Structure 1
Amino acid sequence: MMNLVCLHFAGGNKYSYYPFEEHIDKNISLITLELPGRGKRFHEPLLTDVNDIVDDLFEQLKENVSKPYAIFGHSMGAMLTYLLAHKIEKSGFESPVHLFVSGCKAPKINRKPPFYHDMPKEEFINKIRGMGGCPEEILGNDELMALFEPSLRADFKAIETYTYIEQNPLKIPVTVFIGNKDKVTWEEAKAWEEESVHAIDIKEFEGNHFFIFQHKKEITALFKYYLKTKKTIFNNY
């Protein structure tokens, strides 16, 4: 069995990738990690520093993930995937066999203001609405937004205040997913090639920032395609 560790996007939780479950290959097990301030960890303080988030994810990974495994992250989750992979390589813990980074420009490309995390409420909600992916039932409900907004702002702050530090390229293969109507350009996706010693693959899909949910069958088929070979290689050792 190949384990696929899934890191959620800003404002998400461990159930964010539940829609993939019905399409995922039977030989791939989805493992979702829960960040503080949501789900069963709702009463823990939200984290607003990306390094603290990565430290938390690393501890969860060591305790809950068996090998072989790969990591998938969309948007904020893609950046966390990249940083977590570096922490893993430096730690001596066995590395993932593959990384899937989705809906995210390469780490070296600076995020420019205006930043979402400190926008006034109405402007903030309109920006989230424009991204898609968040139901209007939540965005238009003050009580639900009161629960949802703090984690969303905390996640945006963590990513928007992140400062890129050049590191040696990862020794892990990377596949990049982008949407053709998202803000991430092909050139910004191609810049991921500087972060791995392997040649990267870029897969473009029709859709905006949350294109992954329009293409669940295609995305999960790509998981199977890339991880099938890795599982065979792993089992031969």
Structure 2
Amino acid sequence: MDAPITLVCLPYAGGSRAMYSGWSKQMPSWIDLCPLDPPGHGQRRSTPAAGSWSELVDALVQALPDTAASGDIAIFGHSMGALAGYELAHALRETTGRSPVWLGVSACTAPSRREFNTQWRTCSDEAMIDELRRLGGTPAELLDDRDFIELALPTLRTDFDLCGTYRADPRRAPLDCRVTAFGGVDDAVSQAPGALDAWADVTRAKFERRLFQGGHFYLNEVAGSVIEAVVSALSTARMQSRAPLEGRPWTLW
């Protein structure tokens, strides 16, 4: 029997692995769901949030399960998690010689279309809260809870700053895996010109774009449809990866 694909799932800025808590029930047995908490998030909230992309990616590599070393890996990330997933894909290729079999990027502007923005370092708490309201996904009662805001904003500010100052390394070769960009039809991020389509530039393999009803957090509204699309993409990627890569294990460390 073939080893399952390890599907690494990464959350949005300020989010945690809990956003994927309902996915496992709809995953077939050949997909091993592996949602991760970045430092400072979820079950790792007692540790400081990563202050650089290299620190974040190193932490994610170290958090991968041992089972990921012996089989295929796929990555799905939402919003900031998409950038983290893209960087993780490059890190895995650099350390193993193999790209993941598939990369799913959700509600995130492609690296080549991002604008440099340092405003989140110094903006007021109110400006941060306004941005969270605009994006949706955070209950209004939490945004009105000062205790929650005081606890959450430092990590959110760090995450937002990482996203605003992100710069991909232009010297890197494109990935060799299939890439799917997901977005919501009512999401300003996903609907910006070229925001999703420019993800095609990060890979030599096939690129696909999938849109769903909803805003920036569309996957909370149509989770079943999103999961079906992820499973379908993984099924195709798995079949295409088996023949040339059979018997070539990962070596993560």
Q: Tell me the distance in 1 between the aligned counterparts of 2:177 and 2:88.
A: 12
Which digits, 9 at most, give the CA deviation of each residue in 1:48-91, with x for residues without a partner? 21121011111222646352221000110101111111111111
Q: 1:141 to 1:175 in 2, by over 3 A?
A: same
Which digits, 9 at most, give the CA deviation of each residue in 1:175-222, with x for residues without a partner? 010112212335221111111001300001122111111111111101
Deviation at 1:142, TM superposition (A): 0.8
Q: Tell me the distance in 1 between the aligned counterparts of 2:177 and 2:242.
A: 18
The one-letter amino acid paired with 2:15 is G
The one-letter amino acid paired with 1:58 is V
Which digits, 9 at most, give the CA deviation of each residue in 1:5-25, with x for residues without a partner? 001110011212213333333
Whether the 8 Å contact between 2:115 and 2:164 is mirrored in structure 1 is: yes
1:222 aligns with 2:225: no
The one-letter amino acid paired with 2:179 is V
TM-score by length of structure 1 reads 0.91
Q: Tell me the distance in 2 between the aligned counterparts of 1:46 and 1:142.
A: 20
Unpaired segments of 5 or more residues in structure 2?
247-253
What SS does the corresponding residue of 1:143 show, helix, strand or coil?
helix
1:201 aligns with 2:201: no
Say what the alpha-carbon RMSD is for the aligned residues.
Answer: 2.1
Structure 1 runs of 4+ aligned residues shifted over 4 Å read 232-236
- 2:176 matched to which residue of 1? 171
- 1:47 matched to which residue of 2? 50
Whether the 8 Å contact between 1:50 and 1:159 is mirrored in structure 2 is: no
The one-letter amino acid paired with 2:144 is G
1:155 aligns with 2:155: no
Q: Tell me the distance in 2 between the aligned counterparts of 1:165 and 1:91.
A: 16
Paired residues in the alignment total 237
TM-score by length of structure 2 reads 0.85
Q: For residues 77-92 of structure 1, what are the structure 2 equivalents within 5 Å? A: 77-92=81-96
Deviates more, 1:191-200 or 1:38-47: 38-47
- 1:210 matched to which residue of 2? 217
Q: For residues 17-32 of structure 1, what are the structure 2 equivalents within 5 Å? A: 17-32=20-35
- 2:128 matched to which residue of 1? 124
Q: 1:86 to 1:22 in 2, by over 3 A?
A: same
Whether the 8 Å contact between 2:18 and 2:42 is mirrored in structure 1 is: no
Whether the 8 Å contact between 1:109 and 1:188 is mirrored in structure 2 is: yes
The one-letter amino acid paired with 2:60 is L
The one-letter amino acid paired with 1:104 is C
Identity %: 31
Q: Tell me the distance in 2 between the aligned counterparts of 1:65 and 1:137.
A: 39
The one-letter amino acid paired with 2:151 is L
Unpaired segments of 5 or more residues in structure 1?
none
Q: 1:227 to 1:204 in 2, by over 3 A?
A: same
